[in-house]
Structure 1
Amino acid sequence: MSNHGVGRSASLSVMFGAFLLVQLSIYDVSLSEIIFEERFEDGWQGRWVKSDWKKSEGKAGSFKHTAGSWSGDPDDKGIQTSTDARHFAISAKIPEFSNKNRTLVLQYSIKIEQDIECGGGYIKLMSGYVNQKKFGGDTPYSVMFGPDLCGTQTKKLHVILSYQGQNYPIKKDLQCETDKLTHFYTFILRPDASYSILIDGRERDSGSMYTDWDILPPRKIKDTKAKKPADWEEREYIDDPDQVKPEGYDSIPREIPDPKAKQPDTWDEDEDGIWRPPKIPNPAYKGPWKPKKIKNPNYKGKWKIPWIDNPEFEDDPDLYVLKPIKYVGIEVWQVKAGSVYDNILICDDPEYAKDVIQEIFTNREIEKEALEEAEKAKKAREEEEAQRAREEGERRKRERGYDRRHRDKERYKDRYRKRRDYLDDYHDEL
């Protein structure tokens, strides 16, 4: 090809690139990236590695591929923890990525079908090299996010972030869902270090890494040396200084003689004494004099200790930046197994994450109906088992009663036999 042809081709490429940029700007197209998405369809085993952690101790649990005992779509399967009182650990390697200058979205669904006594339902993101066959509770992680339930008291939603090798839990007391339906948990971390936590696509909480984790010292602290100024006025209202007590106000009696009262005709001063009319409240008496209140022109409000810049604070503009993420994993302990994990998503587009939730929740009502039917069937089984237990108890009770009567009868016969033998001996002696 001639140089002329090369130049023409280059010019066309530049023109096409410019045209494409113009079109993108016109339509405001934003380029987002799905870093990892797992719906546990066929072939999922090739992407996930089950850890041997706790296997030698006989405490390693396993996952089964299932939609669970009730679901909106029986063909939409996840992985469910199986076998009670076990540690579960499984992980997948993902394309390495950094959240520097980009939004991180971590989302997944979990359906806790069991009446969980104590156990986790969270998920982890790991950085650096991870020996997936040894992945366990001691494996360092960059993010730990999700529910943790124990008894009726602990219903915690964990959000733990790693910074310079140390783990920091969120300071807020966040609560997770506790019913047996599928729920989506979403954690969004932005380049300005702000975050949002969503459950089923609805924001449950939000804030900043600067204030909601004890990672850096606070930007502002209270000035403990500050003292309230002597002339600080905290009274919002004061007595009107222009008001003066009316002359003679204090001499107004509280009660006065009743002007309508009359001395009874039968009143005898020699015997009854001098008649005095009864007293009634004085309508002119207004109580103790109080000046009118007016707004205090010098009012400054309640004095508060002022905030000052913290001399120990040193900003880190990369506070939000995690170490490059390479793995996603599930590592939990459960007394009762039966949690179905599904729809794991790592991306930089919160809107796409919401779309996933809406897609799955198109069958939400079907799942609710399936759960209700399962609960009814469970209740019927329990009642049937209870009835069988009662009948078995009655049967054993009757048998015990028969045995007791039989033993009593035999004891009576034995006593009668001994008495008869004694009488026979007695008669023989006679």
Structure 2
Amino acid sequence: MKYNLFISLFVISICSVLAEVYFEEKFKDDSWEKNWVYSKHPGKEFGKFVRTAGKFFNNEEEDKGIQTSEDARFYAISRKFKPFSNEGKDLVIQFTVKHEQDIDCGGGYVKVFDCSLKEEDLHGETPYLLMFGPDICGPGRKIVHAIINYNGKNNLIKKEIACKDGVYSHAYTFVIKPDNTYEILIDGEKVEGGDIEADWDLLPPKTIKDPDAKKPEDWDDRATIPDPDDKKPEDWDQPEHIPDPEATKPDDWDDEMDGEWEPPQIDNPDYKGEWSPKQIDNPNYKGEWVHPEIPNPEYKADPALYKKPEICAIGFDLWQVKSGTIFDNILITDDLEYAKEQLKNLKDKQEGEKKAKQALDDAAKEKKSDEKDDDSEEDEDAEEDDVKPVEEPEHDEL
């Protein structure tokens, strides 16, 4: 047992050493502001980030990240690092998001750029390589964005992936592999994965409908047809409404004043609706016609769909109606196991946040209760002050 444990720890250590960490940011101190650049793009009123662990946390110093601090604002901030290419390697992008404000509408995603990024001009139309992370707006939109830019076009994943909501920290991980496959993980657990070509429309389709193929004129694709031998019954046609046979003319009805009296209409119990012949199997049915397909002359396989020749920066470019989101633990590496290792304390962090949040809520309830009691006592004192003493009536002297 000890030998196996030693081997496991040795393998983990070797993997950690071999892992290439291209970028890592945990916002350990206030020096982060010297490294990250705010956008000054004209025409936008950008909000500011502040370094904090928020109102509730597991470990205040370790849990500090950067938090959106102003409501109804765009946020645009980025940081460059040493350029690299993911050619022949895994690309792992990971970060944590804590929507402490219980976000109603706003982004929680990151964007990855090449070296052409002009940090002080970052805005919504700035080209990027990848966009990944949660996006929430109302109860019907709680998704994970996974967008890949290919040949200058942004392509959203075709699958819908649900993100985590609520007020606690969650980790999002995007893995792009050199075999053109991918994985998406939330809190270290895989929630989606597959083939990049299949799940994004990066390439033209492999096949297209044959433009020269036409459905034969005698092709009968009706599964059923009206029974030619079925005849409408002679008593079928009945009016939908009939005069109420139990209605009687009111005694005070005056034909000259009120017009000729007519009984009110009621639904006809014998009404059967519009007649149509019953359906039978079509003896000439040939099935649904399928348009033949041919190879698409515009399709060309690309074994390097995954590859980004130059990765140079990461940033936040988003809008939030209600501020309060905390971003932290940003990591770009080529080793998924190393990335997972960085999340080893995530569950403890989440449990600590839940306990701290509960204590905060309990204190708020207690304060509200005390204020209510104080208000009640003040009301009682005011009522006592309003009571006038009863004076004894004067008596005549005897």
Does residue 154 (structure 1) correspond to residue 141 (structure 2)? The answer is yes
Aligned residue for 2:305, secondary structure, equals coil
Corresponding residue for residue 353 of structure 1: 339
Corresponding residue for residue 144 of structure 1: 131
Per-residue CA shift, 1:232-259, capped at 9, x if unaligned?
Answer: xxxxxxxxxxxxxxxxxxxxxxxxxxxx
Aligned residue for 1:357, secondary structure, equals coil
The 1:220–1:88 alpha-carbon spacing in structure 2 relative to 1, beyond 3 Å, is: same
Any stretches of 5+ residues in structure 2 without a counterpart?
Answer: 1-10, 217-287, 387-398
Corresponding residue for residue 160 of structure 2: 173
The 1:138–1:372 alpha-carbon spacing in structure 2 relative to 1, beyond 3 Å, is: same
Query: What is the aligned counterpart of 1:339 among 299, 314, 325?
Result: 325
The 1:121–1:29 alpha-carbon spacing in structure 2 relative to 1, beyond 3 Å, is: closer
Equivalent residues of 2:56, 2:360 under 8 A apart: yes
Offset at 1:348? 0.3
Query: What is the aligned counterpart of 1:88 among 75, 78, 86?
Result: 75
The 1:227–1:345 alpha-carbon spacing in structure 2 relative to 1, beyond 3 Å, is: same
The letter for the 2-side match of 1:371 is K
Any stretches of 5+ residues in structure 1 without a counterpart?
Answer: 1-23, 229-301, 403-430
Does residue 66 (structure 1) correspond to residue 52 (structure 2)? The answer is yes
Offset at 1:45? 2.1
Corresponding residue for residue 248 of structure 1: none
The 1:219–1:53 alpha-carbon spacing in structure 2 relative to 1, beyond 3 Å, is: same
Corresponding residue for residue 179 of structure 2: 192
Equivalent residues of 1:163, 1:322 under 8 A apart: no
Inter-partner Cα distance in structure 2 for 1:371 and 1:137? 34
Offset at 1:129? 2.1
Offset at 1:193? 1.1
Backbone CA RMSD of aligned residues: 3.4
The 1:380–1:197 alpha-carbon spacing in structure 2 relative to 1, beyond 3 Å, is: farther
After TM superposition, the score normalised by the length of structure 2 is 0.66
Offset at 1:119? 0.6
Per-residue CA shift, 1:251-304, capped at 9, x if unaligned?
Answer: xxxxxxxxxxxxxxxxxxxxxxxxxxxxxxxxxxxxxxxxxxxxxxxxxxx998
Corresponding residue for residue 40 of structure 1: 27
Corresponding residue for residue 105 of structure 1: 92
Equivalent residues of 1:53, 1:89 under 8 A apart: no
Inter-partner Cα distance in structure 2 for 1:28 and 1:187? 19
Equivalent residues of 1:142, 1:323 under 8 A apart: no
Per-residue CA shift, 1:317-346, capped at 9, x if unaligned?
Answer: 221112411111011110100000000000
The 1:133–1:172 alpha-carbon spacing in structure 2 relative to 1, beyond 3 Å, is: same
Per-residue CA shift, 1:27-71, capped at 9, x if unaligned?
Answer: 8998320000000012222221122246x65x2210111111111
Corresponding residue for residue 49 of structure 1: 37
Aligned residue for 2:344, secondary structure, equals helix
Offset at 1:360? 3.9
Inter-partner Cα distance in structure 2 for 1:150 and 1:381? 32
Larger radius of gyration: 1
Corresponding residue for residue 315 of structure 2: 329
Aligned residue for 2:128, secondary structure, equals coil
The letter for the 1-side match of 2:80 is K
Query: What is the aligned counterpart of 2:353 among 360, 367, 371?
Result: 367
Per-residue CA shift, 1:144-193, capped at 9, x if unaligned?
Answer: 10111111111121111111111111111111100111000000000111
Per-residue CA shift, 1:63-102, capped at 9, x if unaligned?
Answer: 1111111112111110000011111111111110111111
Offset at 1:132? 1.5
How do residues 254-265 of structure 1 correspond to structure 2 at under 5 angstroms?
A: none
Corresponding residue for residue 209 of structure 1: 196
Equivalent residues of 2:16, 2:338 under 8 A apart: no
Corresponding residue for residue 121 of structure 2: 134
Normalized per residue, the structure richer in helix is 1
The alignment of Structure 1 onto Structure 2 pairs a total of residues equal to: 297
The letter for the 2-side match of 1:373 is A
Equivalent residues of 1:210, 1:218 under 8 A apart: no
Inter-partner Cα distance in structure 2 for 1:334 and 1:48? 20
How do residues 302-321 of structure 1 correspond to structure 2 at under 5 angstroms?
A: 309-321=295-307
Identity of aligned residues (%): 43
Inter-partner Cα distance in structure 2 for 1:307 and 1:45? 57
Inter-partner Cα distance in structure 1 for 2:75 and 2:369? 33
The 1:226–1:372 alpha-carbon spacing in structure 2 relative to 1, beyond 3 Å, is: farther
How do residues 270-309 of structure 1 correspond to structure 2 at under 5 angstroms?
A: 309=295
The 1:171–1:379 alpha-carbon spacing in structure 2 relative to 1, beyond 3 Å, is: farther
Does residue 114 (structure 1) correspond to residue 94 (structure 2)? The answer is no
Corresponding residue for residue 183 of structure 1: 170
Equivalent residues of 1:211, 1:218 under 8 A apart: no
Inter-partner Cα distance in structure 2 for 1:29 and 1:200? 20
The 1:381–1:207 alpha-carbon spacing in structure 2 relative to 1, beyond 3 Å, is: farther
Equivalent residues of 2:130, 2:148 under 8 A apart: yes
Aligned residue for 2:146, secondary structure, equals strand
